[in-house]
């Protein structure tokens, strides 16, 4: 299969027209006038798809291939992934063994995982949260998903000062939250396990009044308060993390978690987690202003925007607006 696209040299944004060719066994070749790479799909880093941004491949030398057709790339990776996994399972044993593992994992996930990962997260030291957050952030920067902010420095500083003043009044887990801006294609905001709240420029422009900005920040700080991001990371990589924590290798545990950076950006929190974060914001808004109407108006307005990723599709929007609007 051959996919047209372009190559980005390490740390540069010059685009070189390129073609990616992948054989059935996963060997791949990227050709451009500037650079060629021959290797295997297992040796390259596959970026996560983010909204309209397609999945990219970064080779061991740091050259990043960006496909013109994201859907074609997704199909290719899916086909290879499925084949590779099945081949490994066939080597290890019968389908019966696979079925047993699935049953055990499903049982574990349904019965014990949420409470196990929640309890584990409460035991994690702030130093580990810092390391995981920082590594996850660096992974996102490297994957070209976060571009430098185009907001005026004065505006950034003003917002950061207001955010610092707000979070200083709250009893939040360490590390202390802070605000970072990036240019991205979508209206998006998310908080990393180290308390770094990343807002896209588009989101800043969308939320143009102080009350709604406070409501958005409080919702994200709610996720931080309950350590939702870390809980999801631990749920996703539980085995590796437990193993590395048991042998006392904190940086190894951070590696396991940071390699799951897709979870960091995944805003598809469950309905319960979104409800908990909304609840936190509502309580804080009511305590400060006697009303949580700002959250309701923010949700209402963002709801009209197509593809506003801050709004998970899981919780019913009407339910969230009603809850925020109904609070005294």
For residue 237, CA distances in Å to 7, 186, 258 come to: 31, 28, 10
The residue sitting closest to Zn ion, measured at its beta carbon, is: 277
Shortest CA distance to 172 belongs to which of 212, 204, 207, 218? 218
- Pick between residue 159 and residue 277 the one whose CB is nearest to Zn ion: 277
Cα gap 68→46, rounded to integer Å: 15
- Pick between residue 73 and residue 189 the one whose CB is nearest to Zn ion: 189
Any idea which residue has 């990589």 for tokens? 237
Least distance in angstroms from the C-beta of 274 to Zn ion: 5
Cα gap 123→112, rounded to integer Å: 17
Least distance in angstroms from the C-beta of 51 to Zn ion: 16
What mask, x for binding Zn ion by CB under 5 A, covers residues 267 to 286?
-------x--x---------
At CA 258, angle to CA 267 and CA 170, rounded to 5? 60
- Site membership for Zn ion, residue 295 (CB under 5 A): no
Least distance in angstroms from the C-beta of 278 to Zn ion: 8
- Pick between residue 218 and residue 277 the one whose CB is nearest to Zn ion: 277
Least distance in angstroms from the C-beta of 171 to Zn ion: 20
Least distance in angstroms from the C-beta of 314 to Zn ion: 10
- Pick between residue 194 and residue 274 the one whose CB is nearest to Zn ion: 274
The site that binds Zn ion (CB under 5 A) totals a number of residues, namely: 2
Residues 6+ apart with CB under 8 A from 58: 44, 45, 47, 64, 65, 142, 143
Interface positions with Zn ion (CB under 5 A): 274, 277
């Amino acid at each position: 299969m051959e996919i047209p696209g372009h190559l980005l040299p390490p740390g540069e944004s010059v685009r070189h027209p390129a073609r990616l060719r992948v054989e059935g066994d996963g060997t791949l070749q990227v050709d451009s006038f500037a650079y060629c790479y021959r290797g295997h799909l297992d040796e390259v880093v596959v970026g996560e798809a983010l909204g309209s941004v397609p999945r990219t491949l970064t080779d061991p030398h740091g050259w990043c291939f960006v496909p013109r057709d994201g859907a074609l790339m997704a199909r290719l990776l899916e086909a290879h992934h499925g084949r590779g996994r099945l081949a490994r399972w066939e080597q290890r044993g019968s389908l019966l063994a696979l079925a047993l593992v699935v049953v055990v994992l499903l049982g574990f996930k349904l019965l014990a995982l949420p409470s196990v990962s929640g309890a584990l997260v409460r035991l994690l030291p702030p130093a580990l949260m810092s390391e995981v957050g920082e590594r996850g952030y660096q992974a996102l920067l490297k994957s070209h998903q976060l571009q430098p902010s185009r907001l005026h420095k004065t505006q950034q500083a003003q917002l950061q000062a207001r955010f610092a003043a707000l979070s200083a009044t709250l009893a939040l887990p360490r590390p202390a939250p802070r605000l970072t801006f990036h240019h991205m294609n979508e209206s998006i905001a998310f908080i990393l396990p180290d308390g770094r709240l990343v807002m896209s420029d588009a989101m800043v422009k969308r939320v143009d009044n102080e009350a709604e900005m406070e409501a958005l920040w409080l919702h994200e700080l709610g996720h931080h308060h309950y350590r939702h991001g870390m809980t999801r990371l631990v749920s996703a990589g539980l085995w590796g993390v437990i193993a590395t924590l048991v042998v006392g290798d904190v940086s190894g545990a951070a590696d396991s978690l940071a390699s799951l950076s897709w979870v960091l950006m995944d805003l598809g929190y469950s309905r319960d987690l979104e409800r908990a974060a909304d609840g936190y914001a509502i309580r804080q808004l009511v305590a400060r202003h006697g009303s949580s109407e700002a959250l309701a108006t923010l949700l209402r307005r963002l709801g009209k925007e197509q593809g506003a990723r801050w709004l998970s599709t899981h919780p019913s929007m009407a339910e969230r607006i009603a809850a925020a609007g109904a609070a005294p």
